[in-house]
């Protein structure tokens, strides 16, 4: 059962406050700050990347470097904005020298990711790159095989479409990957529209009740 957006947002803010002081793994010693994620706390679409890089660690916001610029560009090309989605990472702290996330770091950070997905209640999750894709699809199939193919999963009792995409950083390194990412991205608005279709009307028994949806809300930094 879905909870009211305002209550979910409050819980997300509480989770952010908790995460901000996290010392559960050694990455807490080398980070500048925790990069919790940002965007619309009630977004239908979320993006899950790998881990903060240099700029993200400095600014406390995910995907603000070159990979983030490409992500923003692709969103705009497809009629979406960064403000209308939520962006987060598997790891909330930067690994030194941007090395790959380690299995124990992923396992330690996982409860934050699970709680974020549960509280935001997205309809579509775009996993960016191998780490997020393997983790959330619970499959060993890597991004080269899985990209561009939506998968229906049940997360926290809700059905969610997971849509694996190449990581924008990989796209910046290889033109062919960028083309593929652009092509996969172009199918996202249709997938989102389909995922957001209301369920068929129940048989009429009385005056229809209008479902109210709170205005989009920007979960920024909380100071
Ligand atoms: N790459 C990621 O996976 N996440 C970021 O936030 C930035 C770059």
Q: Determine if ligand 1 sits within 6 Å of the CB of residue 169.
A: yes
pLDDT in tens, the chain (223 residues): 568 999 999 999 999 999 999 999 999 999 999 999 999 999 999 999 999 999 999 999 999 999 999 999 999 999 999 999 999 999 999 999 999 999 999 999 999 999 999 999 999 999 999 999 999 999 999 999 999 999 999 998 999 999 999 999 999 999 999 999 999 999 999 999 999 998 777 776 655 444 344 434 434 543 2
C-alpha 58 to ligand 1 mean position (Å): 12
34 domain residue, yes or no? yes
Q: Which residue shows structure tokens 């209550």? A: 7
* Mutation pick for ligand 1 pocket among 53, 132, 165 (CB with most ligand atoms within 8 Å): 53
121 domain residue, yes or no? yes
220 domain residue, yes or no? no
210 domain residue, yes or no? no
What is the radius of gyration, based on Cα positions, of the chain?
A: 17
Give the domain range for residue 56: 5-194
213 domain residue, yes or no? no
Distance between CA atoms of 201 and 194, rounded to whole angstroms?
16
212 domain residue, yes or no? no
Q: Total domain count for the chain?
A: 1
Q: Determine if ligand 1 sits within 6 Å of the CB of residue 62.
A: yes
Spatial strand order in the sheet of 38-40:
151-155, 158-165, 124-128, 45-49, 86-89, 38-40, 218-219
C-alpha 90 to ligand 1 mean position (Å): 9
The CATH number of the domain where 91 resides is what?
3.40.470.10
Q: Determine if ligand 1 sits within 6 Å of the CB of residue 168.
A: no
When the pLDDT of each residue in the chain is averaged and rounded to a whole number, the result is: 92
Closest CA to 191 of 124, 97, 108: 124
C-alpha 101 to ligand 1 mean position (Å): 12
């Amino acid at each position: 059962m879905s909870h009211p957006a305002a209550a979910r947002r409050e819980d997300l803010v509480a989770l952010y406050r908790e995460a901000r002081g996290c010392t559960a793994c050694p990455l807490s010693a080398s980070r500048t700050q925790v990069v919790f994620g940002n965007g619309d706390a009630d977004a239908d679409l979320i993006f899950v990347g790998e881990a903060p890089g240099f700029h993200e660690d400095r600014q406390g916001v995910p995907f603000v470097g070159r990979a983030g610029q490409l992500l923003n560009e692709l969103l705009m090309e497809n009629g979406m904005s960064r403000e209308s989605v939520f962006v987060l990472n598997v790891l909330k702290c930067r690994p030194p020298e941007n090395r790959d996330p380690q299995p124990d770091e992923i396992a330690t950070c996982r409860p934050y990711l699970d709680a974020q997905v549960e509280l935001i209640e997205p309809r579509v999750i775009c996993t960016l790159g191998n780490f997020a894709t393997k983790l959330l699809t619970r499959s060993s199939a890597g991004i080269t095989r899985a990209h561009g193919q939506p998968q229906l999963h049940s997360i926290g009792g809700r059905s969610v479409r997971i849509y694996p995409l190449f990581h924008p950083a990989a796209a910046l390194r290889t033109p062919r990957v960028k083309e593929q990412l652009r092509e996969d991205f172009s199918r996202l608005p249709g997938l989102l529209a389909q995922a957001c279709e209301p369920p068929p009307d129940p048989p009429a028994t009385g005056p229809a009740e209008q479902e109210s949806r709170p205005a989009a809300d920007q979960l920024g930094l909380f100071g």
